[in-house]
Amino acid sequence: MRRTAGHAAAGQLARRPARAPGRTRAAARPAAAAVLALFLSGLPVAAEPLAEPCAACHGARGVSAMPNVPSLAGQPADHLILQMILFREGIRSVPAMAGQLSGRSDAALARIAAFYAALPPAPPPDRGVRDPALAARGAALSARMNCGSCHLPDYSGRANAPRLAGQREDFLAHTLREYRDNLRIGADTQMNGLMYGVSDADIAALAHYLAHRD
């Protein structure tokens, strides 16, 4: 792949050691952490003018009501910054996102990322009915394929690994097929390797299960 400044920057981001989950302290005070999270999620998030053009597709509060457009609310800021750099540099090339971020500085991207990361995640307004059999099949696959090891057991995401819980089912299925078919290549090829040879039916089950996690 052509190496660009952005690609190098994205590589650096990807190689940056993931923040320690801080298990010991968080585990010692789960109640305090839960109360803090509840408090923070109730606070109004200041509007971000840089994100105004994004609302048409990603939703005013980062929850997408548009097929194949991902929700951004509650995504880890690291994931958002990295993906925005990949779009800006044309490394992740998607017609809908082309030009949306061109000319934006890294500092501007960091502000946009902080805005969406602070918004409370929520399922899309048009989420369909949960099919228990399909969800169970997805859960079994996810356990076998260790999806929770990077995306966290509750699929809330961490560092460069995005939040999957409550994401749009159509986007999840679409993007997992793209990883499998090497049409989406991120800052690393972990997801491509993992999805290699996975059937459309298994992808549908994974997407259904994850979309119905809250």
Question: Residue numbers of the site for ligand HEC (CB under 6 A)?
Answer: 51, 53-54, 56-58, 68-70, 72, 75, 80, 83-84, 94, 96-97, 100-101, 112, 142, 145-147, 149-151, 160-162, 164, 172, 174-176, 186-187, 190-191, 194, 206
Closer residue to ligand HEC (CB): 32 or 99: 99
Min separation Cβ 28 and ligand HEC, Å: 27
Min separation Cβ 5 and ligand HEC, Å: 18
Min separation Cβ 75 and ligand HEC, Å: 6
User: Residue 205: which residues within 8 A CB-CB, separation 6 or more?
Assistant: 134, 135, 137, 138, 141
Phi, psi for 83 (deg, rounded to 5): -65, -35
Closer residue to ligand HEC (CB): 54 or 139: 54
Closer residue to ligand HEC (CB): 9 or 147: 147
Closer residue to ligand HEC (CB): 33 or 108: 108
Q: 36-66: string of b/e by CB count within 10 Å (b at 16+)?
A: eeeeeeeeebeebeebeebeebbbebbbbeb
Helix (H, G, I), strand (E, B) or coil at 49: helix
Min separation Cβ 56 and ligand HEC, Å: 5
Min separation Cβ 204 and ligand HEC, Å: 12
Residue with smallest beta-carbon separation from ligand HEC: 186
CB atoms within 10 A of CB 177: 17
Task: Give the residue from 112, 45, 29 showing the smallest Cα distance to 77.
Answer: 112
Closer residue to ligand HEC (CB): 7 or 100: 100
Residue type, 160: N
Give the span between the Cα atoms of 181 and 176, in whole angstroms: 9
Indicate the helix (H) or strand (E) that contains 9: helix 5-15
